[in-house]
Amino acid sequence: MTGPVSGPMPSSGWVVPAASPATRVRAAYDRRAETDYYFDGVALVVVLTIITFGIYGFYVFYQLMRRARDHNKRRLELLEAATDLAWEQTVARGLDGELRPAFERISLHFQPLRVLTTEFREPAIWLVFLIGASLVGGFVLGVVPWMIGLVFIDGDFVRHDVHEGAVEAELSAIYGRLDASVPAPDPSRVKGKQNYAGRIVATVLTCGIYGFWWMVDAMRDGNYHFQWNWPWEDALLPAVQSLDTTPSP
pLDDT score recorded for residue 190: 82
pLDDT tens, residue order, the chain (249 aa): 333 233 344 444 444 456 899 999 999 999 999 999 999 988 899 899 999 988 999 999 999 999 999 999 999 999 999 999 999 999 999 999 999 999 999 999 999 999 999 998 899 999 999 999 999 988 788 899 999 999 999 999 999 999 999 999 999 999 999 999 999 998 888 888 999 999 999 999 998 899 999 999 999 999 999 999 999 999 999 999 999 876 555
Q: Does residue 186 belong to any structural domain of this protein? A: yes
Q: Nearest CA to 132 among 119, 121, 146, 122?
A: 146
Q: What value does the CA radius of gyration of the chain take, rounded to a whole number of Å? A: 20
pLDDT score recorded for residue 14: 42
Q: Does residue 127 belong to any structural domain of this protein? A: yes
Q: Does residue 33 belong to any structural domain of this protein? A: no
Q: Does residue 16 belong to any structural domain of this protein? A: no
Q: Does residue 136 belong to any structural domain of this protein? A: yes
pLDDT score recorded for residue 2: 33
Tally of structural domains, the chain: 1
Write the secondary structure of the chain as one string of H (helix), E (strand) and C (coil). CCCCCCCCCCCCCCCCCCCCHHHHHHHHHHCHHHHCCCCCCHHHHHHHHHHCCCHHHHHHHHHHHHHHHHHHHHHHHHHHHHHHHHHHHHHHCCCHHHHHHHHHHHHHHHHHHHHHHHCCCCHHHHHHHHHHHHHHHHHHHHHHHHHHHHHHHHHHHHHHHHHHHHHHHHHHHHHHHCCCCCCCCCHHHCCCCCCHHHHHHHHHHCCCHHHHHHHHHHHHHHHHHHHHHHHHHHHHHHHHHHHCCCCCC
pLDDT score recorded for residue 140: 81
Please give the single-letter amino acid code of residue 209.
I
Q: Does residue 31 belong to any structural domain of this protein? A: no
Q: What is the largest CA-CA distance in the chain?
A: 64
Model pTM greater than 0.75?
yes
Q: Does residue 19 belong to any structural domain of this protein? A: no
Instruction: Report CA 137 to chain centroid distance, whole Å.
Output: 33
Could you tell me the residue range of the domain that residue 177 belongs to?
A: 40-243
pLDDT score recorded for residue 1: 36
pLDDT score recorded for residue 18: 65
Contact 60, 49 (CB under 8 A): yes
Q: Does residue 249 belong to any structural domain of this protein? A: no
pLDDT score recorded for residue 67: 95
